[in-house]
Structure 1
Amino acid sequence: MACQSVVAVMDEQALLGLNPNADARYRQRAMAYFEQLKESQDAWEVCAEALAKGIYNDDHVKFFCFQVLEHQIKFRHAGLSAVQQQLIRETLMKWLQCQLMNTQPEKPFIRNKAAQVFALTFIMEYLTLWPKFFFDILSLVGLNPHGVDIYLRTLMAIDAEVVDRDILHSPEETRRNTLIKDTMREQCIPNLVESWFQILQTYQQSHPELTCQCLEVVGAYVSWIDLNLIANDRFVNLLLSQMSVEELREEACDCLYEIINKGMDPVDKTKLVESLCQVLQSVGFFNVEQEEDVDFLAKFSRLVNGMGQSLVLSWTKLAKTGNVKATAETLQAMEAKVPLLLQLLVHEDDDISANIIGFCYEYLHVLKQLPQLTDQQKTNIEAIMLAVMKKLTYDDEYNFENEGEDEAMFVEYRKQLKMLLDRLAQVSPELLLEAVRRVFTNTMQNWQTAPFMEVEVAIRLLYMLGEALPASHGAHFSGDTAKASALQDMMRTLVSCGVSSYQHTSVALEFFETVVRYDKFFIVEPQHIPSVLMAFLDQRGLRHNSPKVRSRVAYLFSRFIKTLHKHMNAFIEDILTRIQDLLELAPPENGFPALLTSDDQLFMFETAGVLIVNGESPVERKQAMMRGLLTPLMDAFRLLLAKLPQETEEERQAALADCLSHAVGFASRTSKAFSNKQTVKQCGCTEVYRDCLQTFLPALSCPVQRGVLRSSVRSFLHRMIICLEEEVLPFVPAASEHMLKDCEAKDLQEFIPLISQITGRGYVFVLDSCSKLSVSPFLQQIFMPLVLAIFEVLARPAEDNDQAAALEKQMLRRSYFSFIQTVTGSGMNEVMANQGAENIERVVFTIIQGAVDFPDPIAQKTCFIILSKLVELWGGKDGMVGFPDFIYKHIVPACFLAPLKPTFDLSDAQTTKTTSLFLHIIQFDCCIFYRHCRSGPEFIQFLQQEYLPSLQVSPEISQELCQVLQQPDVKVLKNYIKV
Structure 2
Amino acid sequence: MRNEWTRRTVALVVCRGVNLSQTTANTLMACQSVTAVMDEQALLGLNPNADARYRQRAMAYFEQLKESQDAWEVCAEALAKGIYKHAGLSAPQQQLIRECLMKWLQCQLINPQPEKSFIRNKAAQVLALTFVMEYLTLWPKFFFDILSLVGSNPHGVDIYLRTLMAIDAEVVDRDIMHSPEATRRNTLIKDSMREQCIPSLVESWFQILQTYQQSHPELTCLCLEVVGAYVSWIDLNLIANDRFVNLLLSQMSMEELREEACDCLFEIVNKGMDPVDKTKLVESLCQVLQTAGFFNVEQEEDVDFLAKFSRLINGMGLSLVQSWTKLAKTGNVKEAADTLQALEAKVPLLLQLLVHEDDDISANVVGFCYDYLHVLKQAVMLAIMKKLTYDDEYNFENEGEDEAMFVEYRKQLKMLLDRLAQVSPELLLEAVRRVFTNTMQNWQTAPFMEVEVAIRLVYMLGEALPASHGAHFSGDAAKTNALQEMMRTLVSCGVSSYQHSSVALEFFETVVRYDKFFIVEPQHIPNVLMAFLDQRGLRHNSPKVRSRVAYLFSRFIKTLHKHMNAFIEDILTRIQDLLALAPPENGFPALLTNDDQLFMFETAGILIVNGESPVERKQAMMRSLLTPLMEAFGLLLAKLLQESDEERQAAIADCLSHAVGFASRTSKAFSNKQTVKQCGCTEVYRDCLQTFLPALSCPVQRGVLRSSVRSFLHRMIICLEEEVLPFIPSASEHMLKDCEAKDLQEFIPLISQITAKFKRQVSPFLQQIFMPLVLAIFEVLARPAEENDQAAALEKQMLRRSYFSFIQTVTGSGMNEVMANQGAENIEQVVFTIIQGAVDFPDPVAQKTCFIILSKLVELWGGKDGMTVLTLSECAVTLKTIHLKRGPEFIQFLQQEYLPSLQVSPEISQELCQVLQEQDVKLLKTYLKAFFQQARL
Q: TM-score range by the shorter chain?
A: 0.5 to 0.7
Output one character per residue of 1:91-122: Cα deviation in whole Å (capped at 9) or x when no partner.
99999999999999999999999999999999
User: Does the CA contact (< 8 Å) of 1:4 and 1:54 recur in 2?
Assistant: no
Distance 2:585 2:135 in 1: 78
**Which residue of structure 2 lines up, in the alignment, with residue 645 of structure 1?**
641
User: Does the CA contact (< 8 Å) of 1:664 and 1:696 recur in 2?
Assistant: yes
Over 3 Å counting, the alpha-carbon distance change for 1:428 and 1:941 in structure 2 is: closer
Distance 1:16 1:849 in 2: 132
User: Does the CA contact (< 8 Å) of 1:623 and 1:683 recur in 2?
Assistant: yes
Following superposition, the deviation at residue 316 of structure 1 comes to: 26
Following superposition, the deviation at residue 171 of structure 1 comes to: 84
Following superposition, the deviation at residue 824 of structure 1 comes to: 1.1
Following superposition, the deviation at residue 170 of structure 1 comes to: 84
Deviates further, 256-265 or 441-450: 256-265
Distance 1:939 1:670 in 2: 52
Following superposition, the deviation at residue 246 of structure 1 comes to: 50
User: Does the CA contact (< 8 Å) of 1:48 and 1:91 recur in 2?
Assistant: no
Deviates further, 107-116 or 789-798: 107-116
Deviates further, 421-430 or 487-496: 421-430
Output one character per residue of 1:236-257: Cα deviation in whole Å (capped at 9) or x when no partner.
9999999999999999999999
Distance 1:365 1:816 in 2: 63
Over 3 Å counting, the alpha-carbon distance change for 1:454 and 1:735 in structure 2 is: same
The one of 870, 880, 898 equivalent to 1:947 is: 898
User: Does the CA contact (< 8 Å) of 2:664 and 2:712 recur in 1?
Assistant: yes
User: Does the CA contact (< 8 Å) of 2:547 and 2:592 recur in 1?
Assistant: yes
User: Does the CA contact (< 8 Å) of 1:749 and 1:812 recur in 2?
Assistant: yes
Distance 1:510 1:291 in 2: 58
Deviates further, 388-397 or 325-334: 325-334
User: Does the CA contact (< 8 Å) of 2:835 and 2:878 recur in 1?
Assistant: no
Over 3 Å counting, the alpha-carbon distance change for 1:731 and 1:420 in structure 2 is: same
Following superposition, the deviation at residue 207 of structure 1 comes to: 68
User: Does the CA contact (< 8 Å) of 2:109 and 2:155 recur in 1?
Assistant: yes
Following superposition, the deviation at residue 935 of structure 1 comes to: 32
Following superposition, the deviation at residue 534 of structure 1 comes to: 0.5
Output one character per residue of 1:119-155: Cα deviation in whole Å (capped at 9) or x when no partner.
9999999999999999999999999999999999999
Distance 1:865 1:332 in 2: 70
Distance 2:86 2:917 in 1: 67
Distance 2:348 2:163 in 1: 42
Alignment of 1:40-55 (within 5 A): none
Following superposition, the deviation at residue 820 of structure 1 comes to: 1.3
User: Does the CA contact (< 8 Å) of 1:944 and 1:959 recur in 2?
Assistant: yes
Distance 2:93 2:879 in 1: 53
Distance 1:228 1:48 in 2: 46
Following superposition, the deviation at residue 825 of structure 1 comes to: 1.1
Distance 2:110 2:401 in 1: 48
Alignment of 1:602-751 (within 5 A): 602-751=598-747
User: Does the CA contact (< 8 Å) of 2:640 and 2:652 recur in 1?
Assistant: yes
Distance 1:522 1:17 in 2: 86
Over 3 Å counting, the alpha-carbon distance change for 1:165 and 1:943 in structure 2 is: farther
User: Does the CA contact (< 8 Å) of 1:9 and 1:46 recur in 2?
Assistant: no
Distance 2:849 2:69 in 1: 59
State the number of aligned residues: 899
Over 3 Å counting, the alpha-carbon distance change for 1:150 and 1:704 in structure 2 is: farther
Over 3 Å counting, the alpha-carbon distance change for 1:694 and 1:570 in structure 2 is: same
Output one character per residue of 1:442-466: Cα deviation in whole Å (capped at 9) or x when no partner.
3222222222222222222222222
Distance 2:774 2:52 in 1: 57
Output one character per residue of 1:687-721: Cα deviation in whole Å (capped at 9) or x when no partner.
21111111111111111111111111111111211
Larger radius of gyration: 2
User: Does the CA contact (< 8 Å) of 1:661 and 1:709 recur in 2?
Assistant: yes
Deviates further, 790-799 or 110-119: 110-119
Deviates further, 253-262 or 546-555: 253-262
Q: Which runs of 5+ in 2 are unaligned?
A: 1-28, 930-936
Following superposition, the deviation at residue 828 of structure 1 comes to: 1.0
Deviates further, 968-977 or 799-808: 968-977
**Which residue of structure 1 lines up, in the alignment, with residue 240 of structure 2?**
231
Output one character per residue of 1:507-542: Cα deviation in whole Å (capped at 9) or x when no partner.
111111111111111001101101100000001000
Deviates further, 185-194 or 794-803: 185-194
User: Does the CA contact (< 8 Å) of 1:250 and 1:296 recur in 2?
Assistant: yes
Following superposition, the deviation at residue 567 of structure 1 comes to: 0.5
Over 3 Å counting, the alpha-carbon distance change for 1:716 and 1:288 in structure 2 is: farther
Following superposition, the deviation at residue 9 of structure 1 comes to: 143
Output one character per residue of 1:779-823: Cα deviation in whole Å (capped at 9) or x when no partner.
112112111211222232334444443333333223222211211
User: Does the CA contact (< 8 Å) of 2:876 and 2:928 recur in 1?
Assistant: no
Following superposition, the deviation at residue 735 of structure 1 comes to: 1.1
User: Does the CA contact (< 8 Å) of 1:501 and 1:540 recur in 2?
Assistant: yes
Over 3 Å counting, the alpha-carbon distance change for 1:367 and 1:853 in structure 2 is: same
User: Does the CA contact (< 8 Å) of 1:51 and 1:91 recur in 2?
Assistant: no
Over 3 Å counting, the alpha-carbon distance change for 1:624 and 1:394 in structure 2 is: same
Over 3 Å counting, the alpha-carbon distance change for 1:944 and 1:362 in structure 2 is: closer
Structure 1 residue 588 corresponds to structure 2 residue 584 = yes
Distance 1:754 1:366 in 2: 62
Structure 1 residue 793 corresponds to structure 2 residue 793 = no
Following superposition, the deviation at residue 486 of structure 1 comes to: 2.0
| Identical-pair percentage | 91
Over 3 Å counting, the alpha-carbon distance change for 1:742 and 1:420 in structure 2 is: closer
Distance 1:730 1:106 in 2: 118
Over 3 Å counting, the alpha-carbon distance change for 1:703 and 1:484 in structure 2 is: same
Distance 1:630 1:525 in 2: 34
Over 3 Å counting, the alpha-carbon distance change for 1:90 and 1:385 in structure 2 is: same
Distance 2:162 2:238 in 1: 21
Deviates further, 18-27 or 451-460: 18-27
Distance 2:707 2:54 in 1: 55
Following superposition, the deviation at residue 421 of structure 1 comes to: 3.3
Alignment of 1:17-166 (within 5 A): none
Over 3 Å counting, the alpha-carbon distance change for 1:966 and 1:713 in structure 2 is: same
Distance 2:587 2:382 in 1: 50
Over 3 Å counting, the alpha-carbon distance change for 1:469 and 1:942 in structure 2 is: closer
Following superposition, the deviation at residue 936 of structure 1 comes to: 28
Distance 1:587 1:743 in 2: 29
Following superposition, the deviation at residue 662 of structure 1 comes to: 0.9
Following superposition, the deviation at residue 389 of structure 1 comes to: 3.0
Following superposition, the deviation at residue 829 of structure 1 comes to: 1.1
Following superposition, the deviation at residue 489 of structure 1 comes to: 1.6
Distance 2:812 2:830 in 1: 16
User: Does the CA contact (< 8 Å) of 2:30 and 2:78 recur in 1?
Assistant: no
Following superposition, the deviation at residue 438 of structure 1 comes to: 2.7
Following superposition, the deviation at residue 546 of structure 1 comes to: 0.5
Output one character per residue of 1:344-395: Cα deviation in whole Å (capped at 9) or x when no partner.
9999999999999999999969978xxxxxxxxxxxxx44444433333222
User: Does the CA contact (< 8 Å) of 1:748 and 1:812 recur in 2?
Assistant: yes
Over 3 Å counting, the alpha-carbon distance change for 1:463 and 1:639 in structure 2 is: same
User: Does the CA contact (< 8 Å) of 1:857 and 1:910 recur in 2?
Assistant: no
What secondary structure does 1:395 align onto? coil
Deviates further, 302-311 or 504-513: 302-311
Over 3 Å counting, the alpha-carbon distance change for 1:444 and 1:911 in structure 2 is: farther
Following superposition, the deviation at residue 343 of structure 1 comes to: 25
Distance 2:94 2:845 in 1: 57
Following superposition, the deviation at residue 753 of structure 1 comes to: 1.2
Deviates further, 307-316 or 691-700: 307-316
Over 3 Å counting, the alpha-carbon distance change for 1:470 and 1:9 in structure 2 is: farther
Output one character per residue of 1:15-43: Cα deviation in whole Å (capped at 9) or x when no partner.
99999999999999999999999999999
**Which residue of structure 2 lines up, in the alignment, with residue 15 of structure 1?**
43
Distance 1:874 1:79 in 2: 120
Over 3 Å counting, the alpha-carbon distance change for 1:55 and 1:121 in structure 2 is: closer
Over 3 Å counting, the alpha-carbon distance change for 1:537 and 1:914 in structure 2 is: farther
Distance 1:212 1:664 in 2: 94
Over 3 Å counting, the alpha-carbon distance change for 1:808 and 1:425 in structure 2 is: closer
Runs of 4+ in 1 over 6 A off after TM superposition: 1-56, 76-334, 337-363, 365-368, 903-915, 932-960, 962-979
Distance 1:841 1:678 in 2: 46
Distance 2:141 2:643 in 1: 84
User: Does the CA contact (< 8 Å) of 2:34 and 2:68 recur in 1?
Assistant: no
Distance 1:974 1:86 in 2: 131
Following superposition, the deviation at residue 848 of structure 1 comes to: 3.6
Over 3 Å counting, the alpha-carbon distance change for 1:96 and 1:779 in structure 2 is: farther
